[in-house]
Amino acid sequence: MSAVGDQVRKFLDESVYQSVIWKSVFRHGFPDTDRNRTLVVLSNLFLHLHPAKLKGHAVRMRYTWCMGGLSFFMFLILTISGVFLMFYYRPTPEYAYQDIVALREDVPLGMFMRNVHRWGAHSMVLIVWLHMLRVFMTGSYKAPREFNWAIGVILLKLTLLLSFTGYLLPWDQLAIWAITVGTNMARATPFLGHEGPGASLIGYDDFKVVHSKSDIRFALLGGSIVGPSALLRFYVLHCVFLPLVAGFLMAVHFWRIRKDGFSAPL
Amino acid sequence: MILASGAIGTGPEYMQPFFNFVNFICRPEILFTGSVAAFFGALKFRKILVKPPVAIAMTVGLIAFILISLLSPQFYNEARKPDNAPIFIMVFLTGLVLWAAFYQAVNNDERFRQGLRSDEHEAAEEKLHVWPYLIYIEAIVAAFVLALLFAWSIGLEAPLEQFANPAKSPNPAKAPWYFLGLQEMLVYYDPWIAGVVLPGMILSGLIVLPYCDPNPKGVGYYTFEQRRLAITVFLFGFLILWVLLIFVGTFLRGPNWNFFGLYEPWDAHKLLSLNNINLSEYFWSDLLHKAPPQEWWRREWPGFALIFAYFTILPAAGTVLFKRFYQKLGFVRYSMVVMHLLVMFSLPIKMYLRWSINLKYIVFIPDYFFNI
Ligand code: HEM
């Protein structure tokens, strides 16, 4: 190391790493010894999602393509940008569209944040698909990781639902028609949708249990068209329910990666 | 829409022969058959395709193709829709990761042939500290991806169309791009199958996959030769029945969900003579020269028989033809695998029946919304 570097290092060692403040935050010195490198991972809430050491192949980018980590990273970016958008957005037909226009025109960084949120959401869908492809191609779904793969499949479904529910919120033509097309399929759910096979068998004579105002699509939209109640429902699902469930399942997913051990050749 | 239909042109004169040719090979039956052939061809010639010069040449070719395509006003119109940007990223990123997977798989398979261990196995001998070796990679990749996302967000504005109007339906009305594969399936199956049964089976199929793959090999390293069947089936589903259908739904389906060539202007008045025919009509009118019976249970028995046979005789035959496979899996797991495979392949089967003999429904009971 150069003379300047030595000086800097000496200063850090003597004045910073020994200081009361540093020691109250980090319970270890600079991570350049084996002991400190282990401690930095173990004593930090975020880093300790990792083990302290990994087998060489698992560290390489060409093995994981970083896709799992990036799925989580996208989720975090979307949470942060989403909270920002929530400050300005009201989920009723009177305001929703207008709030998006205001976000674009009046709010500092509003358009940028909206773009980050939208492109981040599209990216997350892609990244989660490719993460699944990686897990498949390395055979990582096989025993003992079958259950974690199943958790992953639910996470994939949640990612798609998050993206889908968010699509409605701008309340423009693109939004309501995409959601109309998507939710129309629910009409045809066997037994539960009023145009689904078997639904007309439930009930007798003219009394039908499943009709256009009682079927699963009605429950999803809170009405028989994509209207104000659908907007509110999708908003609540999008901003509260689905992220909570996804966050919870991610915790399980990460826990299981550690418990099952990271995939490795035998 | 301000533009009257047909108002956009077909692009420069000198491009027309090429555009017409591409429009022609985009017809669903040709595109699908060609893609399936290309898929199996790519698996077969994987050793050549993963060579870096070949992979680079293919990437350059694809970029050139997209640039040339932009000369077509129709393609340009679709390509510049901001919400279609992820489709291009999907194509390149999927290509990149598949290349990475197969490059390593080919390499490992070659090593096994020479009696060596996989490359991952060699690397796994050494244990590395997560700090710094992994944390640094994660930090750099995260910063890089964040920079890309910011650049994308500065360069391309998220779309905002007119205020929602339930009375004015756009034509075509499309679902978000990641569901366009499902919307495309609606051409061939009624919503209860395309929108409910098939997506449900995709999810259940993915969930049972680990429990039904009896092959213990291939954990923790890339390989193709040790897992041929599993990889072929999975990639067929992902690339052909999902990614390809998304492409078709985005670029080749215009007003009224009619089919259009890649460069063919979307004309809302395009007339297609749709004379799709149900199986029962083929059976009663064309084969027996009789009027079809009125009651559905008499009229539709040929269709029921066919479907019953598909889901019973084929699996039964499979237990004999693939005896070892059946014995390895046992009855329950075998049934799950076969049912999912049969449902999966029912999609291409129905597609080909539609393209070849205009078959609409195999079973048609509109009173109960039970059409297959
Ligand atoms: C929101 C979605 C998801 C997040 C945030 C996530 C996150 C992660 C992370 C960070 C890892 C560590 C290794 C790596 O980066 O590859 C991982 C591993 C894993 N993931 Fe996911 N994942 C998600 C969805 C999925 C999906 C859709 C599947 C499969 C259908 C899946 C199955 C697995 C399995 C089996 C492992 C263990 C891999 C091994 O041991 O090699 N995950 N996930």
ipTM: 0.94
A126 with A159, same domain?
yes
> Would you place residue B162 in the very low, low, confident or very high pLDDT band (cuts 50, 70, 90)?
very high
Question: Is A251 part of a structural domain of the chain?
Answer: yes
Type of residue numbered A51: P
Question: Is A66 part of a structural domain of the chain?
Answer: yes
Is A155 close to ligand 1, i.e. is its CB under 6 Å away? yes
A39 with A93, same domain?
no
pLDDT at position A94 over 90: yes
Instruction: Please report, for residues A219, B31, B73, B79, B291, the alpha-carbon distance to residue B261 in angstroms, rounded to integers and kept in the order given.
Output: 39, 10, 13, 14, 39
pLDDT at position A72 over 70: yes
Residues of chain B with Cβ-Cβ distance to A73 below 8 Å are 142, 145
pLDDT at position B4 over 50: no
pLDDT tens column, A130-175: 999 999 999 999 999 999 999 999 999 999 999 999 999 999 999 9
Is A163 close to ligand 1, i.e. is its CB under 6 Å away? no
Contact A70 B160 (CB under 8 A): no
- First and final C-alpha spacing in chain A: 41
Residues of chain A with Cβ-Cβ distance to B170 below 8 Å are 173, 177
pLDDT tens column, B216-253: 999 999 999 999 999 999 999 999 999 999 999 999 99
Average pLDDT over residues B280-307: 90
How high is the pLDDT of residue A178? Answer: 92
A43 with A66, same domain?
no
Put simply, whether the predicted model's pTM sits higher than 0.90 gets the answer yes
Evaluate the CA torsion angle A169, A171, A174, A179 in order and state its sign: positive
**Residues B237 and B46: beta-carbon distance below 8 Å:** no
Residues of chain A with Cβ-Cβ distance to B191 below 8 Å are 184-185, 187-188, 195
pLDDT at position B334 over 70: yes
A62 with A42, same domain?
no
Q: What is the CATH number of the domain that holds A126?
A: 1.20.810.10
How high is the pLDDT of residue B2? Answer: 43
How high is the pLDDT of residue A1? Answer: 56
A103 with A130, same domain?
yes
Is A165 close to ligand 1, i.e. is its CB under 6 Å away? no
Is A125 close to ligand 1, i.e. is its CB under 6 Å away? no
Q: Got the DSSP string for A82-133?
A: HHHHHTT---STTTHHHHHHHHHHTSTTHHHHHHHHHHHHHHHHHHHHHHHH
Is A257 close to ligand 1, i.e. is its CB under 6 Å away? yes
Which residue, judged by its Cα, is nearest atom 25 of ligand 1? Answer: A152
Indicate which atom in ligand 1 lies nearest the CA of residue A69.
Answer: 10
How high is the pLDDT of residue B5? Answer: 46
Which residue, judged by its Cα, is nearest atom 17 of ligand 1? Answer: A68
Domain that holds residue A77: 58-168+226-260
Question: Is A101 part of a structural domain of the chain?
Answer: yes
Distance A217 CA to ligand 1 centre (A): 32
Structure token pair of residue A68: 């799992």
To the nearest whole Å, the CA of B22 is away from the closest chain A CA by 27
Distance A35 CA to ligand 1 centre (A): 29
Distance B107 CA to ligand 1 centre (A): 25
Q: What is the mean pLDDT of chain A?
A: 93
Average pLDDT over residues B46-65: 98
A128 with A152, same domain?
yes
To the nearest whole Å, the CA of A236 is away from the closest chain B CA by 20
pLDDT tens column, A185-209: 888 888 888 888 888 777 777 777 7
How high is the pLDDT of residue B353? Answer: 95
What CA–CA distance (Å, rounded) separates A67 from A87?
30
How high is the pLDDT of residue B1? Answer: 39
Question: Is A255 part of a structural domain of the chain?
Answer: yes
A42 with A112, same domain?
no
- How many domains is chain A partitioned into structurally? 2
Percent of chain B at pLDDT exceeding 90: 85
pLDDT at position B180 over 80: yes
In A, residues 230-259, which contact B (CB 8 Å cutoff)? none
How high is the pLDDT of residue B261? Answer: 94
Which residue, judged by its Cα, is nearest atom 27 of ligand 1? Answer: A152
**DSSP state for residue B365 in the 8-state scheme:** E
A113 with A15, same domain?
no
Treating both helix axes as pointing N-terminal to C-terminal, what angle do A146-168 and A242-260 enclose, rounded to 10 degrees?
A: 160
Contact A185 B197 (CB under 8 A): no
Of B351, B39, B367, give the one whose Cα is nearest residue B181: B351
Where exactly are the structural domains of chain B?
Answer: 175-220+273-372
Evaluate the CA torsion angle A213, A217, A218, A224 in order and state its sign: negative
**Residues A207 and A134: beta-carbon distance below 8 Å:** no
How high is the pLDDT of residue A140? Answer: 97
Q: What is the mean pLDDT of chain B?
A: 93
How high is the pLDDT of residue B7? Answer: 65
Question: Is A188 part of a structural domain of the chain?
Answer: no
Which residue, judged by its Cα, is nearest atom 8 of ligand 1? Answer: A68
Looking up tokens 């957005």 gives A89
> Would you place residue B30 in the very low, low, confident or very high pLDDT band (cuts 50, 70, 90)?
very high
A11 with A89, same domain?
no
Report the residue from B158, B192, B216 with minimal CB separation from A190. Answer: B192
pLDDT tens column, B61-80: 999 999 999 999 999 999 99
A80 with A32, same domain?
no
A114 with A81, same domain?
yes
Looking up tokens 């200081």 gives A19
What CA–CA distance (Å, rounded) separates B333 from B294?
41
A32 with A98, same domain?
no
Which residue, judged by its Cα, is nearest atom 26 of ligand 1? Answer: A152
Distance A250 CA to ligand 1 centre (A): 9
